[in-house]
Amino acid sequence: MCTCREQWKSDEEIKIFQEYLRIPTVHPDVDYTACVEFLKRQASNLGLPVDVIHPVMPSKPVVVMKWLGKIPELPSIILNSHMDVVPVFPEKWTHDPFGAHMDDQGRIYARGAQDMKSVGCQYMAAVRALKASGYQPRRTVYLTFVPDEETGGDMGMAEFVKGDYFKGMNVGFSLDEGIASENESYPVFYAERTLWHLRLKFSGHSGHGSLLHKDTAGEKFHYVMDKLIKFRETQVQLLARNPSWEVGDVTTLNLTQLEGGTQSNVVPPLIEAVFDVRIAVTQDEDALERQIRDWCDEAGGGVELDFILRCPAVETKIDASNPYWLGMKQGLDELGLITHTRVFPGATDSYYVRRMGIPALGFSPINNTPVLLHNHDEYLRADTYLHGIQVYRKLIPAIADS
């Protein structure tokens, strides 16, 4: 009698998924050549025309497959995914992170299994099944595969949306990645928190490390850091008091870089600290900036604040004004899936699409699965992967025909 594992191993869609996972499009030095060739072959097998665009440089390609709609003049939809994956520490993995090994329980281990080569392959598999059934979408559907999302998207989607090719696509809606759920439900993400990368420069008196100098950079750093940590604690408590909330519902603040000093017995004249701040949609952004600037002044002056990165807040409406959301929600409901709308805790390429005034939602059909994106031993079960294809078989027409 054939086991489930044997059936999964012989499944053509699983084989395609594993082939994609075995292409090491891994930072810091990503070579997308093999990935592009793989996607071009997939487009040929799907009978879809494919373009390879280079918005920034030849080493940063965007692969675009086009499924022509019955009414091509209508705004199109894009099914977006990114080709790149974050670095790995092979010694921390049970299996080769680019081997796509499937164990006896059907768990497929690989970097990108959840984030997000699974979604890119599920799009293609769903299109294959829909085309085989004779279905043609009302709107044109594009499958886009972009580079460098994991390093911020500056060399990928951020530039792609500014170009003439993207403008010619007449995009009305974008579907992109979400996050796995550890319970029965599926989150749908309609917004991201406002992202700040904030640099504070503390200047002060320098001198010999054996003396008690006044007005030092270290004292100023300590004062402001203490205030920031106390603010951070208010957010920790807020999250704890609201069990139904997730981290995307509060403001997070973390010290990520600290530089200063040249010698152990010399008090530095300058200390620089960088903070990653993700501002909740309910937080008054201007009030938070004023508060931080006040703390800098209270420290005694000589504290400079500047923004390395400051992304304005953008979100997608999830109400009757958004026909794409209504179509998607109807499809999810008809599948009997338990869903809840959320603010994404991190950052995705949906940000750049929303900034162009185009509605975008984040969704990954992964539930009852540990959240392992960017973690060791990232995996996705074969049955979960195959179920996700069926989910997209429902959602793509639900959105494209809206």
Give me the active site residues, please.
Answer: 84, 149
Q: Cα separation of 217 and 303, whole Å? A: 9
Contacts of 15 (CB under 8 A, 6+ apart): none
Q: Torsion angle, CA of 228/341/313/62, rounded to 10 degrees?
A: 110
Contact 197, 274 (CB under 8 A): yes
Long-range own/partner contacts, residues 217-220 (CB < 8 A, 24 or more apart): 217/260, 217/267, 217/268, 217/269, 217/270, 217/271, 217/302, 218/267, 218/268, 218/271, 219/299, 219/300, 220/271, 220/299, 220/300, 220/302, 220/303
Alpha-carbon separation of residue 154 from 168, 352, 373 (angstroms): 21, 10, 21
- The structure tokens listed for 291 are 């508060």
Distance CA(130)–CA(107), nearest Å, equals: 26
